[in-house]
Amino acid sequence: MRTIIFRSIAPFLTSLMVLFSIFVLLRGHNEPGGGFIGGLIAASALAIYGIACGVAAVRRAIYYHPIAISAFGLFMATLAGVLSMFAGVPFMSGLWIYPEILGVELALSSVLIFDVGVYLVVVGAISSIALGLEEGDRD
């Protein structure tokens, strides 16, 4: 699989896919997409990078251990739920704020935090399995 063409193209492909996955994640609330599908896209991006350039390169690129990313995602999602309790509404109720940044109104919500958490859980769990399997193949 380590052909020159694939290896040269893989970093670009991966970056594009990761970017696209974030796009899919963010637009998920109103258009097709969301954290789950975004996470799957990002995981396949990392898998492609791993097949092309090796597991070590992927691990360097994502810096944190994938299972730690997954755990952090779960933590974020839980936190998004708990946030509502501090606001005096039941666990998991969506909270919304609309700050204006550079003249553009942004819709930020605890739901978004939750969705990012879902994204991270999926990326982390799947890439940790994929990387673990790929890595074992080499030693």
Partner 1 sequence: MSAAAPGTTFIVLMLPFLAAVIAPWLTRRLGHNAAWLLALAPVAIFVHFLGFSAEVADGGFVTGGFQWVPSYNVSFSWLIDGLSLTFALLISGIGALIILYSGGYLKGHDQLGRFFAFMLLFMGAMLGVVISDSFLMLFVYWELTSITSFLLIGFDHTREASRRAAIQALVVTGGGGLALLAGLLVIWNITGVSQISLLLNYGDDVRASPFYLLALLLVLGGAFSKSAQFPLHFWLPNAMEAPTPVSAYLHSATMVKAGVYLLMRLNPVLGDTVWWETLLPLFGGATLIVGTLLAIRQTDLKLMLAYTTVSSLGLLVMLTGFGSEHAIAAAVLYLVAHSLFKGALFMVAGLIDHETGTRDVTALGGLRKAMPITFFAAMAAAISMAGLPPFVGFLAKEEIYYALWATNPWALAFVAVAVLGNALMFVIGFAVAIKPFFGPLVKTPKAAHEGPVLLWLGPVVLGVAALIAALLSPLTHRFISSPMASAVAGRAETVSISLVPHMGPALILSLVTVAIGVVFYLALDRLRAGMAWLLLAIGWGPDRGFDQLISGLVRLSMVITRFVQPGRLDIYMTVTFLMIAAALIGPMAWYGEWPSMPVWPADAQFHELVVIAIAFIGLLAVIYARDRLTAIVSLGVQGFAVALIFMLFGAPDLSFTQFMVETLAVVILALVMTRLKLTSSDHRPTGRKLVDLSVALACGIGFMLYLLAVTQQPFNTALSEFFAAYSKVVAHGTNVVNVIIVDFRGTDTLGEIAVVMVTGLAILSLIRIRSLRSGEIADNDPDQPRTDRYGPEHLGPDQTGKVT
Binding site for partner 1 (CB under 8 A): 24, 28-37, 40-41, 43-44, 47, 51, 66-67, 70-71, 73-74, 77-78, 81, 91-92, 94, 96, 107, 109, 111, 114-115, 117-118, 121-122, 124-126, 128-130, 132-137, 139
Contact 128, 65 (CB under 8 A): yes
Rounded to whole angstroms, the Cα distance separating 68 from 107 reads: 28
Nearer to partner 1, 44 or 57 (CB): 44
Residue placing its CB nearer to partner 1 in the complex, 14 or 70: 70
**If DSSP codes are grouped into helix, strand and coil, which group holds residue 131?**
helix
Output the smallest distance, CB 136 to partner 1, in A. Answer: 5
Residue 54 CB, nearest approach to partner 1 (Å): 13
Shortest spacing between CB 55 and partner 1, in angstroms = 11
Q: Crossing angle of helices 110-138/55-62, nearest 10°?
A: 150
Output 10 or 28, the one with its CB closest to partner 1. 28
28 neighbors 115 (Cβ within 8 angstroms): yes
Q: What is the DSSP letter of 61?
A: H
DSSP string over 49-96 = HHHHH-HHHHHHHH-S-HHHHHHHHHHHHHHHHHHHHHTTS-TT---E
Q: How far is the CB of 133 from partner 1 (least distance, A)?
A: 4
CB of 39 to partner 1, least distance (A): 9
Give the nearer residue to partner 1 in terms of CB position, either 61 or 118.
118
